[in-house]
Amino acid sequence: MDDSKAPLWGRIADNVASLTPENPYRTQEDKPRLLIVGAGMMGREHLRVSQRLGWAEVQGVVDPFDGSIDWAQSDWALLSSRPLQVYADLREACLDSAVDAIVICSPNHTHYETLQIVCESGKPILLEKPMATTLTDAMEMVRLARSYPSVIQLGMQYRFKAQYVEALFEIQAQASLGAVKTIAMSEYRPPFLDKVNQWNKFNRHSGGTLVEKCCHYFDLMNVIAASRPKKVYASGGRGVNFLDFEWQGELSDIDDHAMVIIDYDNGIRASFTLNMFCQELYEELVVVGECGRLVASEQASFHPDTPSEARLQVEVPGHPAYRPQGVGYPPWIEETGHYGATFFEHIAFHQQLAGETVDAATPQQALWSLIVASAAQHSLAMGQAVEVAAFCAQEGAGDFFEGHQVD
């Protein structure tokens, strides 16, 4: 495929250039064999990414829903001539000696119970976001991870989106903006997609919109702020989507828009805006520091054959990206899912298997994103600002909050 039209810039160009046939992960004979737990939309994306990247084999999948298995097998037939092994039992699958590493992408409310079973294997784990739907469960998962003998990587793949890779590099490594003062993120997008048993239409299964959809963004904001959140205020609700939606006799209660304000201990102020009744996808990160402003944006779509357009602007005198420039991955990477973010998330996972240090999210960092998201969800429900320290104490995460900083 001709990648000459793919916009490449800075760190992205370096990352893509490293994907040569001589890469040791691609050419090794004994590739790690993955078990995919959950064969829904994200599970099938992980199948697709694993085959396009070529650094691992897929040993098999496990999922209690026959429909998801059927979809996964159909997708797999387009990716490989090998049969896809289907396991009937999660514990048996994890303990199979043919499995080297495990990717968990089951529905949100199953993550806690699933991780407890998977951890019996002692094998490396990639756990999709959000880590849990409650802080109580998340705290137990962090405690488990502290003594776990192998890697547990959290699926905050937005860290690997092209525009955010470049933005974090400019803000942190290059210090292009000087000291950061404000952070603003926004997402405008269509409604939640259909999932198995429509679990994402209900707060008790998803954790709420600000947990399910927005923990990615709160993770990025925490990384940029590099400080503990002090106070969170959120306003939002249900304006357009699923107002009369019912599944098995239960009415949907999922929110479709919100605005969130976060005060951090170090004085940085942040905001987040979400709207989920738009026709197309648009994301934007605006960070302002002593020296200027950075804008990272992406225009995308759920419509097939519509490529994303990501841009970066570093509005600092003399900076080569003072005027917006295109950033992104080649099409063959972007089309694997999440505009290439999952592809590089897999690279980070395999690098960790080889003992390398990467910037992927740890269980502790995932907990920080969940703390902000849960505080915002609580604020939205209560209609008042939330003091994060008091909220964490109330939800069983007080010791963690007092004893740790955002890293």
The per-residue pLDDT for 15 is 84
Instruction: Pick the closest to residue 40 from 205, 248, 161, 163 (CA basis).
Output: 205
For 293-338, how does the pLDDT look when each residue is reduced to its tens digit (9 = 90+)? Answer: 999 999 999 887 788 899 999 999 999 999 999 999 988 898 899 9
Q: Residue 327: phi, psi to the nearest 5?
A: -130, 160
The per-residue pLDDT for 107 is 97
First to last CA, the chain: 39
Q: From residue 78, how far is each of 35, 74, 82, 343, 379 by CA, in Å?
A: 19, 7, 10, 18, 46
Residue whose structure tokens are 């923990």: 215
The pTM of this model reads 0.95
Q: Strands (DSSP E) along 88-145, which ranges?
A: 101-104, 125-128
Amino acid letter, 173:
A
Strand partners, 297: 284, 311
Catalogue all structural domains in the chain, each as residue range(s) with its CATH number. Answer: 11-156 (3.40.50.720), 158-337+363-403 (3.30.360.10)
Residue whose structure tokens are 């505080």: 375
User: What average pLDDT does this structure show over 242-248?
Assistant: 97
The answer to whether the beta carbons of residues 287 and 180 sit under 8 Å apart is: yes
Distance CA 20, CA 31 (A): 17
The per-residue pLDDT for 4 is 46
User: What average pLDDT does this structure show over 5-14?
Assistant: 73
The per-residue pLDDT for 271 is 98
